[in-house]
Amino acid sequence: MEKTQTIFFLGKPGSGKGTQAKRLSKSTKWPVISAGAQFRLIAKEDTPVGRKIKSEVSAGLLAPNWFAMYLYQKALFSLPENDSVIFDGFNRKPDESRLVIDSLNWLNRPFVVINLIISDTVVHERIATRSKTQHRSDDNSIKTRLKEYHTYTEQALELFRAAGEIVDINGERDENTIALNIVQTLHISV
């Protein structure tokens, strides 16, 4: 039996976080809990929170720390002790990263952050390609999303790096090579 894994994906917009999280889930049968998917669902609700999230997602802004962490903690605390899980996009700000590190250490639950590295040029290319088929509202605000990444997520990555819980993976290669590199890095047999 393989050890319990708690995996987080981080990277710039268009780095393939969602794609690789889904691929890993398909090969391991571990559930993916996606912040972006949850925020997009909430944004469809005709409620004060739904309308606020919709305006922020459309503008390319990251959700408030407390809201992202509410969704993260709700998911984490409902997990059975020995179940592996994949989190996508819950740790993009320094305060969120601290909470992730503290909560998992408190639960004595090992984790690893997969950081998919791509250039800003590749971000623009991939988002332009994706927007032709997926029509995500946040793809219209790529400059803001990259600014949010450089302002917040780079600091979050450094916190994970200091905790020794991060693995950098070249996200500019083809999907299959990246997926293979991830499972090899995690020592998972699929």
Architecture of domain 6-185: 3-Layer(aba) Sandwich (3.40)
Is the pLDDT at 140 greater than 60, yes or no?
yes
More confident residue, 121 or 140: 121
Cα(146)–Cα(94) distance, integer angstroms: 16
Q: Cβ(89)–Cβ(34) under 8 Å? A: yes
Worst-scoring range by mean pLDDT, 4-18, 21-35, 51-65, 142-156? 51-65
Number of CB atoms found within 10 A of residue 132's CB? 8
Q: Model's pTM, two decimal places?
A: 0.86
Q: Are 103 and 75 in contact (CB under 8 A)?
A: no
Domain boundaries, the chain: 6-185
